[in-house]
């Protein structure tokens, strides 16, 4: 059973690296579907992506038995013509992957944050990326609702 469970419970470090690859492609406006073609072919870390060049794109298309749209192919060729620089720019402009939230570049941080599941908002984060935690105070309590005793009217 241990081997079977390991298939279903993927290694968190490998998942983080795959998510980083997906975010790399999203950063350069490439769809997650195209990113999946690279991870399916075994290019599931930024280090392995950095070994590719434009000639390798044909092999990835063939491995996945697909044909990319011409616009996608042009953008991929632009990325992989100088992939090391693109990886470096991505790493400098993006926060580390946090498995609880989708990784977004600093220029868009705070604009939205999508929790993986309900209840995954960090404790003590009353307003995290626009998410407002609901009040759990009972009416009439010191932190109650408007019109109830104890409500802070000075807000």
Residue-wise pLDDT tens digits, 46-67: 999 999 999 999 999 999 999 9
Higher per-residue confidence, 129 vs 15: 15
Q: Are 77 and 14 in contact (CB under 8 A)?
A: no
Whether the predicted pLDDT of 112 surpasses 70: no
pLDDT band for position 94 (cuts 50, 70, 90): confident
Q: What share of the chain is helix, strand, coil (3-state, %, to 5)?
A: 45, 5, 50
Residue-wise pLDDT tens digits, 113-138: 444 444 444 555 444 444 444 445 55
Q: Are 112 and 105 in contact (CB under 8 A)?
A: no
- Tell the burial category of 41 from Cβ atoms under 10 Å away from its Cβ (0-12, 13-18, 19+): middle
């Amino acid at each position: 059973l241990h081997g079977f469970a390991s298939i279903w419970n993927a290694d968190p470090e490998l998942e983080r690296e795959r998510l980083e690859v997906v975010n790399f492609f999203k950063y350069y406006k490439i769809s997650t579907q195209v990113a999946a073609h690279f991870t399916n072919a075994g290019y599931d870390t930024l280090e392995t992506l950095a070994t590719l060049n434009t000639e390798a794109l044909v092999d990835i298309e063939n491995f996945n038995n697909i044909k990319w749209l011409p616009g996608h192919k042009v953008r991929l060729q632009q990325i992989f013509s100088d992939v090391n620089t693109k990886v470096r720019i991505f790493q400098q402009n993006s926060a580390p992957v946090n498995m609880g939230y989708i990784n977004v570049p600093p220029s868009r941080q705070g604009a939205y944050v999508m929790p993986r599941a309900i209840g995954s908002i960090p404790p003590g984060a009353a307003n995290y990326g626009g998410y407002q935690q609901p009040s759990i105070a009972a009416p009439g309590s010191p932190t109650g609702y408007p019109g109830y005793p104890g409500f802070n009217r000075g807000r």
